[in-house]
């Protein structure tokens, strides 16, 4: 292997009027080249064999001619599978002496020829056999038959088609862009026969793959074919852009090596012979046209550091000094990256730390970040917070070490972690689930924003926020604009005692919710006074309340259809004060009025048959039985109402359960409510105008 070293501090090469990025340490630059492509392939093969613990005794023989390179496009995965270097022959009828010497020197006993007899003839086969080398012919009548033969041989030796690449049969550069990756990961390369077609055998092979990457633009492989193959396209405006996109997509981790090759047609053969060597070190082959554009430099730069080695393929006439030097590592660049990431690293307000912290491990410009805590018992290095049980808050110093390449900087943050000691004194003591339930219920009833609980025997299966939904269903009169809750848990070492701090979220402010709750209570008194008589039976009271709501409220169609109904539409306030609301507003208003006149009523939530959420009521009458009641669906203004005469309907007034339950499905909590088995006051048995 030829070495290319030069003592410089910083070198910036102007390419295509752009400042090319510098990417590798000067001492990590090498060249592999011979006096021609045949010798370069031999040197690549020697380098590959030097990486193996023992030689395989197998080699691939490919044509050295530019016009026949296409025959060997798909051979890289097979070569890697067989641990067989790809050597070249530059004559149809004569085996190159240098290649034969390499075969003998490396004790090759078997050769696979990756082209047909019209390119490398029987005379070459005879020469190989005369030197005790077994010959296997992979070449077919054309490149596509050759590709199928190569795939069959790959599978014969245990290769699988779990993933595959699809490349145009004329897309030589595209195939070489993925050759090293396909070699390392055993991903066959499948050739399309035209823009829209692929052979049946290869379609069958690609259909078995869990993922298929189609390399190249729509100009050479159509969208219809990509869709047929269920593939993901990787492409750019030209071969160099596609090469860049391949590297961006497939190489996620830092790279220990990069191979840089001339991407012009007359020099692509070097990339083919290097594919298994590059695959061995999981390195991409970067194609260039004697220049590296800024976009490619940006992608490569994000995947390398000062330890990355650069291997240039070919002598200086093929790979210019300027391109090679454009990859020289510039320490100042990493320094700028680290300083930029350091300046922008921010953990927010740390003056009152209660919850776990998000400590990033990656900063801007691909800078690595490692954390150290001055007190791991309070804040761990991964940001877990365990609040102290002390009289005073605890200050913890968090130190971030930012690294890129050889550059390392630190930044400190001071976090003030709040003690649970003071909160414990102010917290409500909880010794049972009933106390837990009541404390949350009372806090929601007061529209509190915060609640702190000192739970003596905490476990997360029972003491969690799921209970809030049950509370609000059982007590709909305290829900005016609740929208969610979050909780933080602080622990005591070696104890089951925990401090739970709950934050309640609302769509309205506390003053507004208190006002609306009081307004509903006053309106309920007004309605009851006007429609309920002392001598009324329970069923008569229920009917009067049902008819009042239906005749005085309208369904909030606009709010429902937009998905942006006002908070009031979901409460009794919307129905009783504003005269407009949605189903849970109807059901809450019904709950308020029926309970006020002494009729036991429950608020029920669930779904209808189309999966939409819904709310209704169940009512207990003087026969001791429960009945179904859906005031919303009896309102002719309801969006799905079948009542076209715009009068009060009683279809869902005390409806028989067998019918009602066909389109009303209770939620899990409401499954615990009584079944509605009443018969005496079923709506179908009543004559409403005689009651």
Report yes or no on 195 lying in a domain: no
CA 143, 146, 152, 154 torsion: positive or negative?
Answer: negative
pLDDT range class, residue 15, cuts 50, 70, 90: very low
Question: In this model, does residue 4 exceed pLDDT 50?
Answer: no
- CATH number of the structural domain spanning residue 561: 3.10.620
User: What pLDDT does 18 receive?
Assistant: 29
| 547 and 653 housed in the same domain | yes
User: What pLDDT does 415 receive?
Assistant: 95
Beta 257-262 vs 232-234: how paired, if at all? unpaired
Torsions phi, psi of 646, nearest 5? 60, 35
- CATH number of the structural domain spanning residue 84: 3.40.50.12090
| 497 and 459 housed in the same domain | yes
User: What pLDDT does 24 receive?
Assistant: 44
pLDDT range class, residue 328, cuts 50, 70, 90: low
Query: Which of 275, 297, 329 lies at the terminal end of a domain, its last residue?
Result: 329
Higher pLDDT, 375 or 293: 375
Tokens at residue 133, please? 């080398």
Judged by average pLDDT, the poorest of 351-355, 375-379, 439-443, 653-657 is 351-355
Report yes or no on 245 lying in a domain: no
Report yes or no on 235 lying in a domain: no
Query: Which of 479, 506, 533 lies at the terminal end of a domain, its last residue?
Result: 506
pLDDT range class, residue 206, cuts 50, 70, 90: low
Cβ neighbours around 356 below 10 Å, total: 14
Would you say 15 and 321 are in contact if contact means Cβ atoms under 8 Å apart?
no
User: What pLDDT does 506 receive?
Assistant: 96
Listed in sequence order, the DSSP H helices in 52-166 are 76-82, 97-105, 122-130, 143-156
Higher pLDDT, 362 or 296: 362
Higher pLDDT, 162 or 400: 400
* Model pTM above 0.95: no
User: Which residue has 């129905």 as its token pair?
Assistant: 575
How many domains are contained in the chain?
5
CA distances from 472 to 58, 331, 443, 589, 669 (A): 75, 62, 12, 14, 11
The burial of 182, by beta-carbon neighbours within 10 Å (0-12 exposed, 13-18 middle, 19 or more buried), is given as buried
Tell me how far apart the alpha carbons of residues 213 and 380 are, in angstroms, rounded to a whole number. 42
* Average pLDDT estimate for 336-352: 92
Higher pLDDT, 644 or 463: 463
Tell me how far apart the alpha carbons of residues 20 and 43 are, in angstroms, rounded to a whole number. 29
| 580 and 667 housed in the same domain | yes
pLDDT range class, residue 592, cuts 50, 70, 90: very high
* Average pLDDT estimate for 290-294: 73
Judged by average pLDDT, the poorest of 6-10, 139-143, 650-654 is 6-10
| 80 and 97 housed in the same domain | yes
| 74 and 119 housed in the same domain | yes
Higher pLDDT, 479 or 228: 479
pLDDT range class, residue 659, cuts 50, 70, 90: very high
Q: Which of 481, 423, 478, 482 is nearest to 455 (CA)?
A: 423
User: What pLDDT does 26 receive?
Assistant: 46
Report yes or no on 134 lying in a domain: yes
Question: In this model, does residue 5 exceed pLDDT 70?
Answer: no
User: What pLDDT does 185 receive?
Assistant: 93
For the chain, the straight-line distance linking the first and the last C-alpha, in angstroms and rounded, comes to: 105
User: What pLDDT does 9 receive?
Assistant: 24
Question: In this model, does residue 19 exceed pLDDT 50?
Answer: no
- Mind listing the pLDDT tens digit for each residue in 415-428? 999 887 656 667 89
| 662 and 552 housed in the same domain | yes
pLDDT range class, residue 641, cuts 50, 70, 90: low
* Average pLDDT estimate for 353-370: 90
| 657 and 572 housed in the same domain | yes
Higher pLDDT, 231 or 113: 113
* Average pLDDT estimate for 169-186: 89
Question: In this model, does residue 611 exceed pLDDT 70?
Answer: yes
User: What pLDDT does 422 receive?
Assistant: 59
pLDDT range class, residue 172, cuts 50, 70, 90: confident
| 471 and 573 housed in the same domain | no
User: What pLDDT does 170 receive?
Assistant: 83
User: What pLDDT does 230 receive?
Assistant: 85
Question: In this model, does residue 660 exceed pLDDT 80?
Answer: yes
| 543 and 654 housed in the same domain | yes
Tally helices (H) and strands (E) across the chain. Answer: 24, 30
* Average pLDDT estimate for 265-291: 87
| 396 and 320 housed in the same domain | no
User: What SS3 class is residue 250?
Assistant: helix
pLDDT range class, residue 234, cuts 50, 70, 90: very high
Give the chain's radius of gyration (CA, Å): 39
| 494 and 597 housed in the same domain | no
Judged by average pLDDT, the poorest of 103-112, 144-153, 634-643, 651-660 is 634-643
Report yes or no on 206 lying in a domain: no
Report yes or no on 224 lying in a domain: no
| Domain membership of residue 437 as a residue range | 421-506
* Average pLDDT estimate for 223-239: 90
The burial of 222, by beta-carbon neighbours within 10 Å (0-12 exposed, 13-18 middle, 19 or more buried), is given as middle
Report yes or no on 190 lying in a domain: no
User: What pLDDT does 21 receive?
Assistant: 38
Would you say 73 and 271 are in contact if contact means Cβ atoms under 8 Å apart?
no
Query: Which of 297, 329, 361 lies at the terminal end of a domain, its last residue?
Result: 329
Higher pLDDT, 170 or 283: 283
* Residues contacting 330, CB < 8 A, separation 6+: 10, 12, 22
Residue 683 carries which DSSP code? Answer: G
Question: In this model, does residue 389 exceed pLDDT 60?
Answer: yes
| 627 and 494 housed in the same domain | no
Question: In this model, does residue 106 exceed pLDDT 60?
Answer: yes
Residue 357 carries which DSSP code? Answer: P
Question: In this model, does residue 551 exceed pLDDT 80?
Answer: yes
Question: In this model, does residue 99 exceed pLDDT 60?
Answer: yes
Report yes or no on 226 lying in a domain: no
User: What pLDDT does 3 receive?
Assistant: 33
């Amino acid at each position: 292997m030829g070495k290319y070293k030069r003592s410089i501090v910083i070198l910036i090469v102007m390419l295509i009027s752009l400042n090319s990025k510098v990417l590798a340490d000067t001492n990590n630059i090498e060249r592999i080249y011979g006096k021609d492509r045949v010798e370069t392939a031999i040197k690549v093969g020697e380098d590959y064999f030097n990486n193996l613990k023992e030689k395989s005794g197998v080699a691939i023989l490919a044509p050295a001619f530019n016009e026949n390179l296409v025959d060997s496009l798909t051979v890289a995965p097979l070569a890697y599978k067989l641990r067989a270097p790809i050597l070249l022959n530059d004559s149809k009828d004569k085996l190159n002496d240098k290649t034969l010497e390499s075969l003998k020197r490396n004790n090759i006993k078997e050769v696979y020829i990756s082209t047909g007899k019209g390119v490398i003839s029987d005379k070459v086969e005879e020469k190989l056999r005369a030197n005790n080398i077994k010959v296997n012919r992979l070449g077919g009548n054309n490149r596509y038959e050759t590709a199928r033969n190569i795939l069959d041989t790959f599978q014969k030796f245990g290769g699988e088609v779990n993933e595959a690449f699809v490349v145009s049969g004329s897309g030589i550069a595209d195939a070489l862009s993925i050759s090293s990756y396909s070699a390392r990961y055993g991903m066959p390369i499948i050739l399309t026969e035209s823009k829209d077609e692929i052979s049946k055998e290869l379609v069958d092979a690609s259909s078995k793959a869990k993922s298929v990457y189609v390399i190249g633009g729509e100009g050479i492989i159509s969208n219809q074919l990509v869709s047929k193959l269920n593939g993901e396209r990787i492409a750019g405006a030209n071969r160099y852009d596609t090469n860049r996109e391949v590297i961006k997509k497939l190489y996620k981790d830092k790279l220990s090596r990069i191979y840089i090759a001339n991407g012009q047609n007359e020099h692509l053969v070097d990339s083919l012979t290097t594919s298994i060597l590059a695959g061995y070190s999981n390195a991409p082959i970067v194609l260039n046209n004697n220049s590296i554009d800024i976009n490619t430099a940006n992608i490569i730069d994000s995947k390398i550091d000062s330890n990355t080695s650069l291997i240039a393929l070919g002598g200086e006439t093929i790979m210019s000094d300027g391109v090679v030097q454009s990859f020289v590592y510039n320490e100042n660049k990493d320094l700028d990256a680290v300083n930029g990431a350091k300046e922008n690293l921010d953990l927010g307000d740390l003056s009152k730390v209660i919850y776990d912290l998000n400590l990033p491990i990656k900063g801007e410009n691909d800078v690595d970040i490692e954390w150290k805590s001055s007190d791991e018992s309070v804040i761990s290095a991964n940001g877990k917070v365990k609040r102290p049980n002390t009289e005073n808050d605890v200050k913890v110093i968090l130190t971030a070490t930012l690294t890129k390449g050889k550059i390392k900087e630190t930044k400190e943050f001071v976090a003030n972690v709040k003690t649970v000691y003071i909160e414990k004194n102010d917290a409500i003591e909880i010794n049972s689930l009933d106390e837990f339930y009541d404390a949350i219920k009372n806090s929601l009833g007061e529209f509190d924003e915060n609640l702190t609980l000192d739970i003596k025997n905490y476990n997360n299966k029972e003491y969690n926020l799921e209970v809030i939904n049950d509370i609000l269903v059982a007590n709909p009169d305290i829900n005016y604009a609740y929208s969610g809750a979050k909780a933080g848990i602080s622990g005591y070492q070696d104890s089951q005692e925990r401090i739970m701090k709950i934050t309640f979220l609302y769509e309205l402010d506390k003053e507004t919710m208190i006002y609306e709750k009081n307004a509903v209570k006053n309106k309920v008194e007004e309605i009851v006074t006007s429609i309920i008589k002392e001598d009324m039976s329970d069923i008569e009271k229920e009917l009067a309340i049902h008819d009042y709501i239906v005749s005085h409220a309208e369904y909030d169609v606009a709010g429902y259809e937009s998905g942006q109904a006002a908070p009031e539409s979901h409460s009794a306030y919307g129905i009783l004060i504003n005269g407009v609301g949605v189903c849970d507003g109807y059901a809450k208003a019904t709950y308020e009025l029926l309970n006020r006149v002494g009729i036991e009523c429950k608020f029920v939530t669930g779904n209808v048959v189309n999966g939409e959420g819904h709310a209704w009521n169940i009512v207990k009458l003087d026969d001791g039985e429960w009945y179904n009641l859906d005031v919303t669906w009896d309102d002719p203004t309801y969006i799905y109402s079948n009542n076209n005469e715009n009068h009060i309907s009683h279809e869902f007034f005390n409806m028989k359960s067998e019918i009602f339950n066909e389109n009303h499905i209770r939620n899990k909590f409401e499954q615990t409510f009584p079944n509605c088995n009443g018969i005496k006051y079923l709506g179908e048995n009543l004559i409403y105008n005689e009651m």
